[in-house]
Structure 1
Amino acid sequence: MEKQQIVDMNHVMSHVMSNIASLIAAQKTTPGALLPILHAIQESAGYIPTESVPLIAQELNLSRAEVHGVISFYHYFRQQPAGRHVVQICRAEACQARGSAALEAHAKAVLECDFHATTKDGEFSLEPVYCLGQCACGPAIMIDDELHARVSHGKLDRLLQTKRGAQ
């Protein structure tokens, strides 16, 4: 990596950490502040940077292990930046009974990535989710904040193509 790129990345990370410190300060006195702080950080940065764990722990008087334990326990929290679009496929029993396992396999093949991963082009992240509230109309998926029900392989392909074209 070139020196200029390293300097630019350090500047960006410094800005991100400054923002995270502000988010922590704004909520650290709230009872049960850890989850609201983690949600705020992810909303702002798109993920929970590893570098933020010591700061969160210090400000909330927790161990780093406690903070990391909460981050890793909840599948919602990301520890790496997500792709431009997040594709969530429901894996709850009702959707499984309606074909979500085959849809998962199709999505993994089309996107060429597994769950908790991002496509090589950075366009899509693929995530499992355990109920989108569409039990009668499965299999269900969510792309970004858009819920889709009765998703076939063809419908998934069209939705992904639409997202690719919406740049």
Structure 2
Amino acid sequence: MSHSTAEPPQRDLHALISEHSGGEGPLLPMLHAIQAAYGHIPQEAIPLIADALNLTKAEVHGVVTFYHDFRETPAGRHVIKLCRAEACQSVGGAALADRVLGKLGLDWGGTTANGAVTVEAVYCLGLCACGPAAMVDGKVVGRVDDTRMAKILTEAGA
């Protein structure tokens, strides 16, 4: 999934914000809509959301940074989520994750310099019996070892 790095026009943000501001508990649906449209939550959206919902910018920013699914910068063209839950860790998931992050020179949530891959942590993909598990562009993959991960990274252009 590729997203433009240009900031969205103000009117588009205003439209998304006003579309979701009338419901109950509008902040999360609003943030999801903005991220779906732009691939991340642009900095310029924070004060607009705060004004629309009578919140402080700090409160909105706190919600964006609390939930792992929201991004403050665009993701890479491919998103690889590595399971960090205990079942996957017990069969080598933690070591695999360390090797992947080390090979790519990234921290969790980081994107390769060429913009090809973002690596994120996820806490259970439901493949506990087939760990270590990963999700690659929304597709769940089980029994991920170094060979399989190398193939995934190569195909993603990392």
TM-score under structure 2 length normalisation: 0.92
Output one character per residue of 1:93-122: Cα deviation in whole Å (capped at 9) or x when no partner: 111111111110221133221212111111
Tell me how far 1:71 sits from its aligned partner. Answer: 0.6
Give % identity.
47
More helix by share: 1
The higher-RCO structure (CA 8 Å, 6+ apart) is: 2
Aligned residues: 154
AA aligned to 1:80 is T
Tell me how far 1:48 sits from its aligned partner. Answer: 0.5
Tell me how far 1:76 sits from its aligned partner. Answer: 1.0
Tell me how far 1:160 sits from its aligned partner. Answer: 1.7
Q: Which has the larger radius of gyration?
A: 1
Aligned counterpart in structure 2 of residue 63 of structure 1, from 56, 62, 68: 56
Gaps of 5+ in 1: 1-8
Tell me how far 1:133 sits from its aligned partner. Answer: 1.1
Q: Report the equivalent of 2:66.
A: 73
Gaps of 5+ in 2: none
Q: Report whether the alignment pairs 1:162 with 2:155.
A: yes
AA aligned to 1:13 is E
Q: Report the equivalent of 2:23.
A: 30
C-alpha separation in 2, matches of 1:97 and 1:119: 27
Tell me how far 1:144 sits from its aligned partner. Answer: 1.2
Q: Report whether the alignment pairs 1:109 with 2:102.
A: yes
Asked whether the equivalents of residues 8 and 38 of structure 2 are also in contact (C-alpha less than 8 Å), the reply is no
Q: Report the equivalent of 1:87.
A: 80
C-alpha separation in 2, matches of 1:146 and 1:14: 28
TM-score under structure 1 length normalisation: 0.87
Aligned counterpart in structure 2 of residue 18 of structure 1, from 11, 21, 25: 11
Tell me how far 1:13 sits from its aligned partner. Answer: 2.6
Secondary structure, counterpart of 1:31 in structure 2: coil
C-alpha separation in 1, matches of 2:8 and 2:103: 36
